[in-house]
Amino acid sequence: MRIQTPGGLRRRCAIGTAAVLVATATGCGNPPDTDPPPGMSPPTVSTSPTPTEGPPSGETGEVRVTGTVEAGVEPGCLLLETGTTRYLLIGGDRSQLQPQRRMTITGSTHPGAPTTCMEGVPLTVEEISPAA
């Protein structure tokens, strides 16, 4: 009868560990070739900023806009859809700001201001009138 010595087990573990290390190290060779195949050009990456929705050029500060009032995605949020810009209506008499009504709103825009509604250009309502 032959009794296995602890040294034999240690030797097999050392060989197994070495095999795993060699297999892992071979994956760390040269980085992959990033050049495109012949005849193809590399993709271009734009460095210009992504356009964000905001009031049309020249509309800063106080504006007078006409559009249709719409319910926002979040409860209690109302928007004014003008056809070119969506304004998030902040404040104002909510009894006058009913969805599907065409209204003219005067107020101050706040492009980029964070809101809980997260849609449209924030517009603090100062004056509301039915659209003509």
**67 in any annotated domain:** yes
Confidence of residue 95 (pLDDT cuts 50, 70, 90): very high
Contact 60, 92 (CB under 8 A): no
Confidence of residue 91 (pLDDT cuts 50, 70, 90): very high
Number of structural domains the chain divides into = 1
**9 in any annotated domain:** no
pTM equals 0.55
Over the stretch 14-65, which tens digit does the pLDDT of each residue have? Answer: 666 665 555 555 555 555 556 656 666 555 544 443 333 344 444 458 999 9
Confidence of residue 4 (pLDDT cuts 50, 70, 90): low
pLDDT at 63: 95
**27 in any annotated domain:** no
**96 in any annotated domain:** yes
Lowest mean pLDDT of 4-8, 59-63, 65-69, 82-86, name the range.
Answer: 4-8
Q: Two tokens at 119?
A: 């849609």
Best-predicted range by mean pLDDT among 5-14, 39-48, 107-116?
107-116
pLDDT at 30: 56
**Domain interval for residue 126:** 62-130
Over the stretch 52-62, which tens digit does the pLDDT of each residue have? Answer: 334 444 445 89
Domain of 117: which CATH number?
2.40.50.140
Percentage above 90 pLDDT, the chain: 52
Strand segments, DSSP code E, in 1-132 are 62-71, 78-81, 86-90, 102-109, 121-130
Q: How many helices (H) and strands (E) does the chain have?
A: 1, 5
